[in-house]
Each structure stands twice: as structure tokens, then as C-alpha cells.
Amino acid sequence: MRFGSSAVTRAERRVSVNTAVSIGLVGTTPLEVVRALAPRVERLGFTTLWINDIPGGDSLAGLRAAAEVTSTLGLASGVIPLDRRPADSLDLANLPTERLTLGIGSGKVAVRPVEFVRTGLATLRELTDAPIVVGALGPRMRRLAAEEADGVLLNWLTPGAGSLTAGELRRDAGGRADPNRVRATLYVRTITDESARPALDRESTRYESVPAYAANFERLGFGAREATITDAARLAEYVDADLDEIVLRAMTPSNSLAELAAFVETAAAWRDR
């Protein structure tokens, strides 16, 4: 099945008034930038600050920095690869459990990735009461998220594909005591200024060259650039999709504090239209 832009009208969609809109930062964002930016993200009413975990960056350190300067903002890692950072090695000290969401994934080298993540999930259940979401590309990992985690973190999907995938998640969670507790969160690369388009294009091209993502794009019938946000109308399409949370992954020319501050201000204006 191919998913292009949704052909249904806004009135025909189930407008999800409870869709959370959050901000995502790359894990290499300097801690001083995170500390300066996080209060603004909180003040502007975004639900959560997500920080991904990549070589050269520590999502948990970034979340600790954000926790120091905020009081209500959600804090989430998206996602920690367990092949590089085993579950029992994670330092969760000084992270407020009531605001924390731990996003985990298999990474690149696990031989049996679903079982690997299942084991890591069980380990983390012993270490923290924070919700745990699973980064999932394929149906088997999404099913694990539906059946055993608190949600799924999706990536590189159009609004239509995101809505259908969220529906599958909820069906897979139907056997749980509270299936509505399982959240569908979608991470969307976003620009709010044309000066950031080269960065968005580079990111799109990079993911299209990754075999697993290339195969997924081919299966779904769209490319990476079709699964991004570049204006307020496109953000509205994502908010109207049947998802629990949209994470606007900030793409700017240099990831400076000034650029990121401008990004969150514009994104808030788009959200509130």
C-alpha cells in the first residue's frame, strides 16, 4: 500500500485535540544550549523535550541539564541504542521520574533485535518507574512496543502512514488491561526557516541511504522529504493525524542557541494557528 498526502478533508479526519506537540534536539547539542533553551520550550507550552542519543552525545546528560532549569516540562530520550548503551549501564540519577520517558532501541548490531529489546525493557522495569517507549521501524518491534512497553517512537512517516501505524499499535495493544495507555509518538524532522533546508535535505538523503529505511520508504511509497514539516499547514496535518504526540525534531543551519530559540518560537506560532 502506498501513502501519499492524505486525500480526505480536515473535516473528515478525527481531529485529535489531545495531540501533544513536543520539541526534539540532536544529542550533540551542548549542555549550555540545552539549559538556555529548555525554559523557553516549557514557557511556550510544548509537552516534552526529546533528546536523541548518538555517538558524541549523551541524551541523559542533556535531559539532566534540562531538568535543572524546568519544573513541568516532560523529558524524553529518543532513543538510546541498547547495543551501545546496555540497559543496566544507564545512569538515571537526578532525572525526575514523574517527568521522564525513556526511549530505547536495539541499535545496529543485535542478532535478534526484538528479543534484545525485550530483555532490555525488562531490565529497565526493575530500575525505574518511568514510562518506556520503543523505537520501532518494523511490525515485529512495533508489536513488542504495543504488548510490553508504554508506547512506540515512530520515525519518517507521513501523516497518513503515521495514523495507520498508530491504529495498528492500538489493535496490537488490545489484549492489555489498558490499551489506551500505549502511546504512539512520531518524530518528524522540521524546519521553520528556508535557511535550514540544506540541513533537512542532507538528513533526508542520509536516511534514504540506510538500507532498512530505504526498504521501508520503498514499501510505503514515499521518500524522506515527504515525511517532514516545512510550514504551518503541514504541521496541522500531523496534528490532525491519529497520533498521541508529534515531536518536532529541530533542523537549523548550525544548531546554535539563537537558531533553536527562533525555531521554537516559530513552531509555537504554527501550532497555535
**What's the mean pLDDT in 236-252?**
97
- Cell numbers 538556555: residue: 36
Please state the φ and ψ torsions of residue 120, each to the nearest 5 degrees.
Answer: -65, -40
**Cα(97)–Cα(130) distance, integer angstroms:** 5
Per-residue pLDDT at 8 exceeds 60: no
- For residue 209, what pLDDT band results from cuts at 50, 70 and 90? very high
Please check whether residue 47 lies inside any domain of the structure: yes
Which residue type, as a one-letter code, is found at position 167? G
* CATH number of the domain within which 179 lies: 3.20.20.30
132-147 as b/e, with b when 16 or more CB fall inside 10 Å? bbbbbbeeebbbbbbe
Per-residue pLDDT at 259 exceeds 80: yes
The tens digit of pLDDT for each residue in 141-179 reads: 999 999 999 999 999 999 999 999 999 999 999 988 887
CA dist 68 to 21, 36, 65, 266, 267, Å? 22, 11, 5, 25, 24
Please check whether residue 5 lies inside any domain of the structure: no
- For residue 180, what pLDDT band results from cuts at 50, 70 and 90? confident
Please check whether residue 201 lies inside any domain of the structure: yes
Please check whether residue 245 lies inside any domain of the structure: yes
| pTM to 2 decimal places | 0.92
Count of domains observed in the chain: 1
Please check whether residue 9 lies inside any domain of the structure: no
Helix, strand, coil percentages for the chain (3-state, nearest 5): 45, 15, 40
The tens digit of pLDDT for each residue in 99-148 reads: 999 999 999 877 899 999 999 999 999 999 999 999 999 999 999 999 99
Please state the φ and ψ torsions of residue 250, each to the nearest 5 degrees.
Answer: -70, 120
Percent of the chain with pLDDT over 70: 94
Please check whether residue 64 lies inside any domain of the structure: yes
Please check whether residue 257 lies inside any domain of the structure: yes
**Cα(75)–Cα(202) distance, integer angstroms:** 27
Per the structure, the complete domain to which residue 236 belongs is given by 20-271
| pLDDT value for 109 | 77
Per-residue pLDDT at 12 exceeds 90: no
Instruction: Name which of 98-112, 198-212, 232-246 the model is least confident about.
Output: 98-112
Please check whether residue 8 lies inside any domain of the structure: no
- For residue 13, what pLDDT band results from cuts at 50, 70 and 90? very low
The tens digit of pLDDT for each residue in 57-71 reads: 999 999 999 999 999
